[in-house]
Structure 1
Amino acid sequence: MHTRFLAAVVLAAASVVGSGQASAAACNGYVGLTFDDGPTTKTQSLLNALRQNGLRATMFNVGQAAAANPALVRAQVSAGMWVGNHSYTHPHLDQMARAQVDSEISRTQRAIAAAGGGTPKLFRPPYGGTNATVQSVATQYGLRQILWDVDSQDWNNASVDAIVQANGRLTNGQVILMHDGPANTLAAIPRIAQVLASRGLCAGMISPQTGRAVAPA
């Protein structure tokens, strides 16, 4: 009886592994889920929800928040997320002088690296505010500027339904803007996973070369 039980457990485990491989192979496109403005008091809950639903994402961290919460930056990496640069104090970079832009970007690179997040390769300007100077400084630090194809509007109190529907508009290679903090965004995670899976899309990494979502390396 005991032997038969063990055999059943092994078979069940094998079927779970097999189904995971099957769903991984079923990806016929990749999308870039991004969450700005972390780390926050909600970061761990967001990471838990993403992991529970088999999703990976790029976390565009604010430098001063990363410096203040290094354990959460490490938690992002441990959860399989990618960490990007979102400036140090979240200003309108396109309204600043080059030296100020340089400070905002360089301090964030150092803060994230010091917190254990690695050296970011991706950069998102706050509010999407960019210009030739911002782009030039980002390039100087080896950063690829990433904006977005779809805005979830979660920063504008979008409902859970609206956030899920925004994710449902993504096509292969596209990137969506979301944020670390809104309760509706957190609540939407399980349904985001479902809507992507129903369309054969998987959560991928954003390529530093092209700025498009691709299969995780």
Structure 2
Amino acid sequence: MSARTPFPLRPLTTALATLALAATGTLALHPSPAHAAACNGYVGLTFDDGPSSHTAALLNSLKQNGLRATMFNEGQYAAAYPAQVKAQVDAGMWVGNHSYTHPHLTQLGQAQIDSELSRTQTAIAAAGGGTPKLFRPPYGETNATVRTVEAKYGLTEIIWDVDSQDWNGAGTDAIVAAAGRLTNGQVILMHDWATNTLAAVPRIAQQLAARGLCAGRISPQTGRAVAP
């Protein structure tokens, strides 16, 4: 057998050293250009009125389609379905406060508004959803008194830029079209219980990807969708 090495040692040694450095974190491996350019912007997908018996199916669809969303939960349902609140978090979703009983807050006094928000903070935390930083007033109705109570609990008010109209019987095509109007940083209103919205999720995911948009979290500082 020849004593000559059948292949050059230097390239192999260099390759092994590179792998070793990467494994220890000493060398940063750059993501592929395709991966780096995948997100040209972020949008906030939001689902109100949960958790419910519909939540598991919605979470499965979101996960299967690589989407994350903010779930604005009602306190009464967080108390009734605590396992679903924990499932939301385990699925990578963010949990927000949507009042306890979904009243018209602008028609209530400050003490009643306080009760709606504080009980929901407690119910969500007790269910494993953490302490919400985001609040969506029912019907998008707000005033100075509502905002005063929000500030007391460190909550940022989140309305929406695009209304999917799923609460109003919008069909799947219309919901997908509504999501198609989202631009970087914007937030869309959808609902946990809407079957047409559940059907729209895969198409929304495809559409966002085609436009270079990714599902992001909603910043408590700005109220806009940002990178997770």
**Structure 2 length-normalised TM:** 0.85
- Are the structure 2 counterparts of residues 154 and 91 from structure 1 closer, same or farther at C-alpha, using a change threshold of 3 Å? same
Aligned equivalent of 1:151, options 150, 156, 163: 163
CA deviation after TM superposition for structure 1 residue 25, in Å:
4.1
- Are the structure 2 counterparts of residues 133 and 197 from structure 1 closer, same or farther at C-alpha, using a change threshold of 3 Å? same
- Are the structure 2 counterparts of residues 168 and 38 from structure 1 closer, same or farther at C-alpha, using a change threshold of 3 Å? same
1:195 and 2:207 matched: yes
- Are the structure 2 counterparts of residues 55 and 128 from structure 1 closer, same or farther at C-alpha, using a change threshold of 3 Å? same
Runs of 4+ displaced beyond 2 Å: 18-25
- Corresponding residue for residue 146 of structure 2: 134
CA deviation after TM superposition for structure 1 residue 22, in Å:
3.9
1:168 and 2:166 matched: no
- Corresponding residue for residue 9 of structure 1: none
- Corresponding residue for residue 113 of structure 1: 125
CA deviation after TM superposition for structure 1 residue 24, in Å:
6.0
CA deviation after TM superposition for structure 1 residue 26, in Å:
1.3
Alignment length, in residue pairs? 199
| 3-state SS, counterpart of residue 185 of structure 2 | coil
Deviations 1:147-197 (A, max 9, x none): 000000000010100000000000000000000011100000000001101
CA RMSD, Structure 1 to Structure 2 (Å): 1.5
Structure 1 vs Structure 2: percent identity of aligned residues? 77
Mapping of 1:19-58 within 5 angstroms? 22-23=34-35, 25-58=37-70
| 3-state SS, counterpart of residue 193 of structure 1 | helix
Please say which structure displays the higher CA radius of gyration. Answer: 2
Deviations 1:57-78 (A, max 9, x none): 0000000100111100000000
Name the aligned partner's letter for residue 29 of structure 1. Answer: G
Mark the runs of 5 or more structure 2 residues left unpaired by the alignment: 1-29
Please state which structure has a larger fraction of its residues in helix: 1
Deviations 1:45-94 (A, max 9, x none): 00000000000000000001001111000000000000000000000001
Q: Could you tell me how far apart the structure 1 residues matched to 2:138 and 2:118 are?
A: 15
- Are the structure 2 counterparts of residues 145 and 56 from structure 1 closer, same or farther at C-alpha, using a change threshold of 3 Å? same
Deviations 1:94-146 (A, max 9, x none): 11000000000000000000000000000000000110000110011000000
